[in-house]
Amino acid sequence: MANTIPLRYKNIIIDNKTLTLSKPKKIDGVYTSNISYNENPFFVQTPVLNQLDSNTLTFEMISNGDFFNLFESLSNHIVEFLYVKSKEFFNGKEFNESRINESLVKITSVNELGHVKINVNKSDSEVCIVNILNEKVEQPSFPFLGKFILHIKNITFSKKEFKINIYIKNIKLCKKKVYSKINFDLDLSDSDSEENSIEKQKESEKQQLQLTEQLELKRQKELEQERLKQQEIERQEFEQERIEQERLKQQEIEQERLKQQEIEQERLKQQEIEQERIEQQELEKQQLQLIEQLDLKKQQESEIEQEELIVEKENVDDLDFFEL
């Protein structure tokens, strides 16, 4: 039976052994991959957060840096997991980490003041809301503070983006309510000692420094991703230009080949015509020679006949003479 006990965010370790994704299946026309933590549904217990509306949770980085890091680790691990499994998940297609990272919709966003926003889905079931006495109550008007049980449920895939879907399952309201100015670092106790205030100030400065470092790392990472993206675009443009040049070169070679082929065919045709002309001349010459030979033969035969007639006549005259 699946374990549905939520995990405290500080106790969660994201790695290849704990977090897994199922192979995407088409559900209601959308490819969906379920997210599991230690082979169970992934439920997370949050620190105190402010709910601005049905789709937005916020908190201050200096108060809950560890909670922010949880979502950064989650996103990074999912990108790495999809990269390793891309052929299996995407019908044999292999995508690089930069492409997957660009397609993944960010879970969190941070403004210049260090306020973090978490995007959540509209709940797919009834949300249980209780007060500090664990009594079930109606949902108060927005905004309000509380501790939340979040279900990091699945990833849905579309042609342009991958989205991690997070749902609110339970809310425990805090004692104090947020008014026009949201106090992200609200302490539920009625008062703090001066010593605690100094300690909190030191911790706040430390976390603010960590936030600055994290934001700088994030900025450097984004710059590197942009550089890699631009490098990939340039590589593709260069490859396309090379392919086009090769195509034009092959086209020129083919045109030259066809031109030479036409020239050769024309040469052979002219050669054939010339050969026929020579053969015709030779035939006419032979016919002329044959006619001349026949004419000569006839002339010779005629001369022979004439000579024979002359001889015959002479013989007849001789006979006539002797008869006299």
Tell me what pLDDT residue 232 has.
87
- Please tell me the predicted confidence (pLDDT) of residue 223: 79
Contact 89, 23 (CB under 8 A): yes
Whole-number CA gyration radius for the chain: 50
Whether residue 120 contacts residue 150, with contact meaning beta carbons closer than 8 Å, is answered with: yes
Q: Which of 131, 16, 140, 130 is nearest to 82 (CA)?
A: 16
Q: Are 183 and 86 in contact (CB under 8 A)?
A: no
Q: How many CB atoms neighbour CB 259 within 10 A?
A: 10
Q: Are 108 and 68 in contact (CB under 8 A)?
A: yes
For residue 135, is it left (φ>0), alpha (ψ between -120 and 50) or beta? beta
Q: What Cα–Cα distance (Å) separates residue 22 from each residue in 93, 106, 270, 316?
A: 17, 20, 74, 137
pLDDT surpasses 80 at 315: no
Q: Per residue in 99-114, pLDDT tens?
A: 999 999 999 998 877 8
What pLDDT was estimated at residue 137?
94
Q: In terms of DSSP bridges, do strands 19-21 and 56-60 run parallel, antiparallel, or are they unpaired?
A: unpaired
Cβ contact 122:55 at 8 Å? yes
CA distance 83 to 95: 6
Distance separating alpha carbons of residues 91 and 245, to the nearest angstrom: 32
Does the pLDDT value for residue 77 go beyond 80? yes
pLDDT on residue 320: 57
Strands 19-21 and 30-37, by their bridges, are: antiparallel
Q: How far apart are CA 126 and CA 316, in angstroms?
A: 155
Residue type, 321: F
pTM (predicted TM-score): 0.57
- What percent of the chain is helix, strand and coil (3-state, nearest 5)? 50, 25, 25
Rounded to whole angstroms, how far apart are CA atoms 230 and 102? 13
Contact 150, 164 (CB under 8 A): no
Out of 11-20, 122-131, 199-208, 214-223, the most confident range is 11-20
Identify the residue with better confidence: 184 or 317: 317
Q: What is the pLDDT of residue 301?
A: 85
Query: Are 100 and 155 spatial neighbours (Cβ–Cβ below 8 Å)?
Result: no
Please, is 279 exposed, middle or buried when counting C-beta atoms within 10 Å of its C-beta (0-12, 13-18, 19+)? exposed
pLDDT tens sequence across 145-193 = 999 999 999 999 998 899 999 999 999 998 765 543 343 333 333 334 4
Task: Supply φ then ψ for residue 188, to 5 degrees.
Answer: -75, -15
